[in-house]
Amino acid sequence: MGTLTEFKELTDTEEYLDFFDIEYDQRLVFVKRFHIMKKFGEMLEKAKEHDFGSEEKELEYYKFALLSVYKNFENGYAPSAAEIWDTFDKPSACSTCSTSTSCDDIEEVSNGVHACTSQPGLSFN
């Protein structure tokens, strides 16, 4: 396992799984990557307030979180329609906001749907 600094540089689902030496089915990851990373991100968000005491313990938690999420999907978990639509209604990270889920450029673009308007190349007109 690498360092926390290396972990923070990862971007793809496969990179996270490889980082933690988690064996995975490429077909499952291809189909479920969005949902896997969403659930993994939720678990990491919950852990932000916890003091793990060491980088090693923090990375062990991250590995456990990703493994748990992946195994849930491997065993047939499927998000509900409400979870999926709720995701689309919430603003996502953008190039301006980096990996933050909050953004100063969030605007309602259509019937209660919000988006980050600072993303280059997007037009809501």
pTM as predicted: 0.62
What's the pLDDT score for residue 103? 54
Query: Bigger pLDDT: 76 or 18?
Result: 18
85 within a domain of the structure (yes/no): no
User: Do 53 and 103 sit in the same domain of this protein?
Assistant: no
Residue 84 lies in a domain: no
Domain extent at residue 110: 90-125
Q: What is the mean pLDDT of the chain?
A: 74
Domains of the chain: total: 2
Nearest residue to 32 (alpha-carbon basis) of 82, 75, 62? 75
Amino acid 98: pLDDT: 43
pLDDT tens-digit profile of 57-70?
999 999 999 999 99
Q: What is the pLDDT of residue 55?
A: 93
Span 101-123, pLDDT tens digits: 455 555 555 445 445 555 444 44
Q: Is the dihedral of CA 98, 100, 105, 109 positive or negative?
A: positive
Residues 67 and 102 reside in one and the same domain: no
Q: Which residue has the higher pLDDT, 9 or 77?
A: 9
> Is residue 51 over pLDDT 50?
yes
Res 93 pLDDT > 50: no
For position 122, what pLDDT does the model report? 43
